[in-house]
């Protein structure tokens, strides 16, 4: 089968969506399928044999750290030229909206996947008044698809309540060869602690944005001198965060990829995840596979991955004090080790194959449904 993927984000970006896509594409091609990708033009024209067609990208005035491709009439001709068996639009919003419109117009089987809680983000950007409009917009896009995918049961329930049609949960995956406790490294530990390697490293990995609620972690550093915070990632909120954490035991590393990122995970002691707006949080799986105990908000998508007192500790998302008290419990090294071992045991055989195979099954279903519709 020839699969056309139209996505709002792709390499060299390295977020959870891109990680899922690259692993899926690799699996599809290993199974003998052909894949073409349409994505914002960020200088990548090929991925392991799959052609990447770039659409001119620019930075939006309200989000300057990343370039996006806007809706584009060129998408119609590109879809016709590729002539795929199925079109998968990932996170349709801008260029993806064109993908949805023209795939539907040209009568191709269409799958759309929902990865980002944009309506919830509105609260963090003082745009709550637009939440209803955002839900209407994303519902209108997704309901053009034959099948919709999302990444957790809790998000599926929310999308069902918002009248999104035919929603399925796309299983999670993680690269358990790349992310592994054996990648611990003393030089990386020195880097993450600014040569204070005897301290307990709290690790945050992800985009630096207001909705990630990273500011909560400062209270921990002010309550105990046993911790150092390593923040791995970049984003529009980096400068305010650097100012906010000034004078604390905090290291900003910038972006890390591949082996460096895997080594950072394995060289830390605790993974902290304050965000309450995630649809999944792939970094949680990466941390677990690296042998780290987790501290995360007690929210629906998180509970689907983290069992309290088994893989980590969940805190009351409405209380900064709860977050601080929960992290401070992990001054206890024996508790850290118990949670870390349990987290690793429960995930170390996962991999990416199951979720990729599921995607292929979904594509086949979409093709069959489209064929039946046309009869």
Digit-coded pLDDT (tens) for 12-68: 988 899 999 999 999 999 999 999 999 999 999 999 999 999 999 998 876 677 899
Output the pLDDT for position 124. Answer: 66
Burial readout 181-210 (b: 16 or more C-beta within 10 A, e: otherwise): bebebeebbebbbeeebebbbbbbbbbbbb
Predicted confidence at residue 318, as pLDDT, reads 87
**Residue in 167, 66, 154 with CA at minimum distance from that of residue 113:** 167
φ/ψ (deg, to 5) at 114: -110, 120
The β-bridge relationship of strands 147-150 and 167-169 is parallel
| 150 and 192 inside one domain | no
> Is residue 341 over pLDDT 80?
yes
Task: Report, as an integer, the average pLDDT of 69-82.
Answer: 98
User: Encoding tokens for residue 42?
Assistant: 């960020």
For 310-339, what is the mean pLDDT? Answer: 96
Tell me the CA distances in angstroms from 91 to 40, 140, 262, 319, 372, one per residue in order. 13, 13, 26, 31, 26
> Which residue carries 């449904």 as its tokens?
369
Q: Are 368 and 86 in contact (CB under 8 A)?
A: no
> Using alpha carbons only, what angle is made at residue 16 by residues 11 and 22, rounded to the nearest 5 degrees?
45
Tokens of 141: 């896009």
Residue 206 and residue 287 in one domain: yes
Domains of the chain: total: 2
Can you tell me whether residue 240 is helix, strand or coil? helix
pLDDT at 330: 98
pLDDT in tens, 274-291: 988 776 789 999 999 999
Residues 220 and 367 placed together within one structural domain of the fold:
no
Query: Are residues 138 and 57 part of one domain?
Result: yes
Q: What is the pLDDT of residue 280?
A: 72
Q: What is the pLDDT of residues 252-278, one digit of tens each?
A: 999 999 999 999 999 999 999 998 877
Closest CA to 25 of 314, 373, 324, 363: 363
Share of the chain above pLDDT 70, in %: 98
Residue 161 and residue 189 in one domain: no
pLDDT exceeds cutoff 90 at 94: yes
Tell whether 278 and 228 lie within a shared domain: yes
Residues 73 and 215 in one domain: no
Stretch 149-175: mean pLDDT, rounded? 96
> The domain spanning residue 118 has which CATH number?
3.40.50.2000
Strand partners, 133: none
116 close to 27: Cβ distance less than 8 angstroms: no
* Residues 238 and 149 grouped into a single domain: no
Tell me: pLDDT of 366 over 90. yes
C-alpha pair distances (Å), 239 with each of 246, 341, 354:
11, 36, 39
Instruction: State the average pLDDT over residues 186-198.
Output: 95
Are 315 and 365 in a shared domain?
no
Tell how far CA 276 is from the center of its chain: 13
Cis status of the peptide bond prior to 12, with omega within 30 of 0: yes
Q: Which domain covers residue 211, as residue numbers? A: 181-347
C-beta separation of 38 from 60 below 8 A = no
What string of DSSP letters covers 246-259?
A: TTSSEEEEE---HH
Same domain assignment for residues 64 and 114:
yes
> pTM of the prediction?
0.91
């Amino acid at each position: 089968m020839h699969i056309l993927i139209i996505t709002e984000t792709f390499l060299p970006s390295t977020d959870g969506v891109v990680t899922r896509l690259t692993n899926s594409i690799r699996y599809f091609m290993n199974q003998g399928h052909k894949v073409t990708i349409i994505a914002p033009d960020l200088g990548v024209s090929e991925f392991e044999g799959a052609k990447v067609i770039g659409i001119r990208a620019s930075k939006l005035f309200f989000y300057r750290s990343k370039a996006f491709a806007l809706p584009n009439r060129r998408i119609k001709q590109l879809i016709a030229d590729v002539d795929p068996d199925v079109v998968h639009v990932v996170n349709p919003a801008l260029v993806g909206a064109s993908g949805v419109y023209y795939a539907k117009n040209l009568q191709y089987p269409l799958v759309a996947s929902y990865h980002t809680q944009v309506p919830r983000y509105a609260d963090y950007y003082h745009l709550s008044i637009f939440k209803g409009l955002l839900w209407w917009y994303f519902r209108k896009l997704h309901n053009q698809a034959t099948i919709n995918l999302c990444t957790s049961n809790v998000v599926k329930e929310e999308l069902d309540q918002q009248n999104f049609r035919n929603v399925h949960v796309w299983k999670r995956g993680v690269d358990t060869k790349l992310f592994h406790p054996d990648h611990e490294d003393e030089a990386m530990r020195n880097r993450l602690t600014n040569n204070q390697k005897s301290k307990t490293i709290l690790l945050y990995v992800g985009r630096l944005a207001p909705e990630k609620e990273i500011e909560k972690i400062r209270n921990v550093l002010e309550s105990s001198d046993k911790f150092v915070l390593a923040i791995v990632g970049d984003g529009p909120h980096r400068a305010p965060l650097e100012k906010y954490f000034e004078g604390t035991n905090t290291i900003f590393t910038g972006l890390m990829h591949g082996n460096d990122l895997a080594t950072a995970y394995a060289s830390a002691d605790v993974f902290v995840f304050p965000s309450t707006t995630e649809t999944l949080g792939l970094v949680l799986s990466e941390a677990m596979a690296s042998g780290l105990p987790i501290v995360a908000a007690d929210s629906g998508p998180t509970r689907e991955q983290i069992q309290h007192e088994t893989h980590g500790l969940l805190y009351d998302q409405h209380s900064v004090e709860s977050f601080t008290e929960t992290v401070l419990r992990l001054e206890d090294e024996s508790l850290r080790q118990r949670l870390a071992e349990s987290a690793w045991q429960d995930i170390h055989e996962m991999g990416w194959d199951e979720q990729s195979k599921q995607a292929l099954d979904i594509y086949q279903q979409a093709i069959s449904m489209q064929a039946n519709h046309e009869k």
